[in-house]
Structure 1
Amino acid sequence: MGDKETKTETETESGYRVVYEKYWQDIKKRDPDEITAVRAVSYSSDTHQFNVIFFDEEYIADSVKETICRKADGHVPDVVATIVILNYLAFSQPLPESSPRWVSVKEIPGGMIFYTAFHKTAISVVIEAFGHQAGRLMTAARSLGGQAGPFGDTSVVFRAFPEVPLCVIVWEGDDEVKANATILYDPSIEFLLQSAICIDLGIYLAAQLKRLIQYS
């Protein structure tokens, strides 16, 4: 069993490495001006670095060293956050005009096939952490720049990137009512991240919220 788990972890790391290298190559093939024209990022031609705001913190993406770190302290984000940031830069295309609204993962093109895994690894995590203490969600959310939303017993709107909002909603449970939660996206997400990376983003956010409440 242990060998199987180790192999699975190794395969996962290898898969992320392939994606990591591909996204960097995709980014480096682009004219930086093309990326900054359609993304809320800046670029320095002197240092060959992009400045990216991710959950209210500034990160430096260095296209020469092929590294990403937080500007304030040099912290290197975990592999999921790194892949999300790289996809955000690599998958840059103009946004169409649209009216603000919220959609579930099922409504994102290609999202339906990921829903079962998404519920298990993101929504269930939120329910477990906040389903019986919904008020704690806002406490955890502050560190990620979250703002109170209008839904459920408690909801919080986050900005993964300046133009990428997510909304986490919790309906608190008790002895008679089962707790529930969801994570919603703006439909423009399909032009900002690939569908699989949208899933990774929700999973990352749920994990960060659970981690933050454990240490609050």
Structure 2
Amino acid sequence: MDVLYLREKQQFVVPYLNENYIVDCVNKTICKEKDGSVPKIGAAILILHYLTFFQTRTEIANKWVSLKEIPNGGMLFYPAFHKEAIGGLIKTFGHQASLLLECAKPLGGQPARFGDASAIFKVFPKIPLCVVVWEGDEEIAANATVLFDPSIAHFLHIESVIGVGGYLVNKLIKLASPDYRPGHDIW
């Protein structure tokens, strides 16, 4: 589903990681369509940035690139993104790659054929992300990455590209935690 604008209600319906959110322009609110719950501030900001920056005429390129290859700062921000997001993926899934696929399901992630385990997520309409994990052993260190369709540069500014990748990774790590309780997310 693409973003839907309900003119009579002055509301946008925005699909975001397997959930629909209502952005109400009259009441200046954002909530989940299914239960009316309010998203955490990080998710709300990303939804608003998506609505603000999105360009409807651009199409998905249908290829995968690293954050380093995203124009307007991807290379500059990559070291911090690697330290925070990729490092968390490696720590959480680097020795149990199959857990990634379990955690991907509630977020709408579909298995892919990269690494030892990978999943493709439709974060927003026209914004897929792919999370890939390679398991480590005694001889080879575990590794992971987050891949982007290069067209993302037409749908979000670079800070939000990083935010979307970080948000997805954070959700996956939370879902992998044995102490995870829905509704207690940071984002």
Q: Does TM, normalized by the shorter one, top 0.5?
A: yes
The residue aligned with 1:90 is 52
TM-score of the pair, normalised by structure 1: 0.79
The residue aligned with 1:187 is 150
Report matched runs for 1:124-163 at 5 Å. 124-163=87-126
Q: After superposition, what is the alpha-carbon deviation per residue over 1:137-195, rounded to whole angstroms, capped at 9, x for unaligned?
A: 00000000000001000010000012110000000011211000000000110000011
The residue aligned with 1:17 is none
Report matched runs for 1:97-116 at 5 Å. 99-109=61-71, 110-116=73-79
Which runs of no fewer than 5 residues in structure 1 stay unpaired? Answer: 1-38
Offset, 1:52: 0.7
Report which of the two structures shows the higher radius of gyration computed on alpha carbons: 1
The residue aligned with 2:22 is 60
CA distance in 2, matches of 1:63, 1:169: 37
CA distance in 1, matches of 2:66, 2:116: 18
- Deviation above 6 Å: which 4+ runs of structure 1? none
Is the CA contact 1:166–1:186 (under 8 Å) kept in the aligned structure 2?
Answer: yes
The residue aligned with 1:123 is 86
Q: CA RMSD in A?
A: 1.5
1:74 has 2:36 as partner = yes
CA distance in 2, matches of 1:96, 1:50: 20
Which runs of no fewer than 5 residues in structure 2 stay unpaired? Answer: 181-187
Identity of aligned residues (%): 50
Match of 1:177 among 140, 145, 167: 140
Matched AA of 2:91: E
Offset, 1:73: 1.0
Q: Structure 1 pair 97/85, CA: closer, same or farther in 2 (3 Å)?
A: closer
Offset, 1:98: 6.0
